[in-house]
Amino acid sequence: MDKFIIQGGKKLEGTVNVSGAKNASLALMPAVLLTSGISKLYNTPRLNDVFTMIKLLTQMGVKIEFNNEELIIDSTGIFSYEAPYELVKKMRASIYVLGPLVSRYGYAKVSLPGGCAWGPRPINLHLMALERMGASIELVQGYIIAKTRKLNGAKINFDIPSVGATGNTLMAATLAKGTTIINNAACEPEITNLANFLVNMGAKISGIGTSILEVEGVDELKPAEIETIPDRIEAGTLLVAAAITKGNIELKGANENHLYSILSKLEESGISLSINNGSIKLDARNSEIKSVNVTTSVFPGFPTDMQAQWIALMCLANGTSNVTDTIYYDRFNHVPELIRLGADIVVNENTARVVGVKKLTGAKVMSTDLRASASLVLAGLAAEGVTEVLRVYHLDRGYQRIEEKLNSLGAEIQRVQSSEY
Ligand code: EPU
């Protein structure tokens, strides 16, 4: 198992490109199950969750070639409609195959995702929507078995604008008979990217980018192409890396419209930004970081996937801040580890109260999920001395060799094999 050894205290400087969005790719890839033929996804990030999705689709009979950042996907020979436990337990986004399979083939058998590192993550909304469209759903030996002769359009209301449930329902609705309305749909850019891909495939969708999506089912979809949007969470993580080290970087290939909440919070904290057409320049060389409260919410609010990284930044801010997560109440695995580096944080219910300290000091830390690991790397970059981050396989799930990007900006991070875990 790899670990990172980080020599802290290096200011980040230079230019770095943003990769394609993990959470967009994980929705775009299973959409090919809705059609037969060769589709192409551009700007796909080479990271482990994408490789897990490739495995999952391959064992269903889909043929996939990965050339640089281009995925060429041939969905002609699909012969299995099953997502096995071994893959779903590795990656919850495997649930995205459920909607397309049941809609196109009238049958899907998908392992029920269990809890995750920071608590329960139910999928009741995914199942409710499919049932409303006429699928029968049974739970047999840990597997969801969904069956239907043909899905029918339905009026669906989500109590919570779930990203995954919106994506699954949207895919399912494209081949249903009649019109589906998804009310209180997620408006995340990754869902918009998926909707645009489905439109390229011939789906009839209106309201894209809003919280009411209307889908008029069609008889069949054709293969298509799409450019994956840039990863707003990778972009935010790199910006915080520059801010926490008092660096000066230019981020290229970002979409500033997806980053509004993160960029505003960085500016509020006293960091200077200049934004121009996908290029974001951040200069924190002369900034004193001010404490800024953050409450996560659905897009365009501050993303829960940046909460851990924001807490890392606030550890070294001047003053006290409250960071509240309203999406995942228990997503604070990074806090005890940040405290090992010298941070002063108390978590009460879903709020972390962070009292800024003068410095963090390197130590061995470990984490249990992707964004928590990212926050530990950020803290390690700013800490005095050496920080070892164990279990970086969590990071590899969602960042494309982040240490190479950070090192290209002057960080000193070594990836080494380790027997510790
Ligand atoms: N929820 C329900 N019932 C459901 C579905 C969701 O109660 O059927 C609740 C969840 O428990 C949570 C909230 O709704 O409190 C939002 O969950 P959502 O369904 O939107 O999350 P998701 O689709 O499972 C995606 C991202 C996550 C990201 C969340 C929130 C992917 C593959 N994953 O998950 O990304 O945190 O949206 O924005 O798109 C990450 O990248 O680190 C990550 C965890």
- Give backbone dihedrals phi and psi of 236, rounded to 5 degrees, phi first: -60, -40
The predicted-structure confidence for 111-163, as pLDDT tens digits, reads as follows 999 767 767 789 999 999 999 999 999 999 999 999 999 999 999 999 999 99
Residue 211 burial (10 A CB sphere; 0-12, 13-18, 19+): middle
Regarding the beta carbon of 122 and ligand 1, being less than 6 Å apart is answered: yes
Residue with CA at minimum distance from ligand 1 atom 37: 163
- The tokens of 45 are what? 């990030």
Biggest alpha carbon–alpha carbon distance for the chain? 64
- Please give the mean pLDDT across all residues of the chain: 96
Which of 257, 258, 190 is closest to 226 using CA atoms?
190
Query: In terms of DSSP H, where are the helices of 215-354?
Result: 232-244, 260-268, 307-315, 334-340
The predicted-structure confidence for 308-340, as pLDDT tens digits, reads as follows 999 999 999 999 999 999 999 999 999 999 999
pLDDT at position 343 is: 98
Given the residues 72, 116, 363, 386, select the one marked as catalytic: 116
pLDDT at position 373 is: 97
pLDDT at position 114 is: 72
pLDDT at position 386 is: 98
pLDDT at position 115 is: 66
| Ligand 1 atom with minimal separation from the 188 CA | 38
385: left (phi over 0), alpha (psi -120 to 50) or beta: left
| Ligand 1 atom with minimal separation from the 161 CA | 20
Regarding the beta carbon of 341 and ligand 1, being less than 6 Å apart is answered: no
Q: Ligand 1 mean position to 285 CA, how many Å?
A: 36
**CA–CA separation, 217 vs 178, rounded Å?**
5
pLDDT at position 118 is: 67
Q: What is the mean pLDDT of residues 46-61?
A: 97
Q: Which amino acid is at 312?
A: A
The predicted-structure confidence for 181-225, as pLDDT tens digits, reads as follows 999 999 999 999 999 999 999 999 999 999 999 999 999 999 999
Asked whether residue 378 carries a pLDDT value surpassing 90, the answer given is: yes
Determine how many CB atoms are found less than 10 A away from the CB of residue 356. 18
pLDDT at position 368 is: 83
The predicted-structure confidence for 338-369, as pLDDT tens digits, reads as follows 999 999 999 999 999 999 999 999 999 998 89
The answer to whether the beta carbons of residues 38 and 223 sit under 8 Å apart is yes
**CA–CA separation, 176 vs 217, rounded Å?**
5
The helix/strand/coil state of 356 is coil
- The tokens of 259 are what? 């980053």
Q: What is the mean pLDDT of residues 68-85?
A: 97
Strands ordered across the beta sheet of 13-17: 13-17, 248-252, 279-283, 272-276
- Percent of the chain topping pLDDT 90: 95
- Percent of the chain topping pLDDT 70: 99
Which of 268, 263, 274 is closest to 240 using CA atoms?
263
Query: In terms of DSSP H, where are the helices of 323-412?
Result: 334-340, 370-382, 393-398, 402-408
- E strand or H helix that includes residue 331: none
The predicted-structure confidence for 232-246, as pLDDT tens digits, reads as follows 999 999 999 999 999
Residues paired with residue 324 on neighbouring β-strands, in sequence order: 295, 351
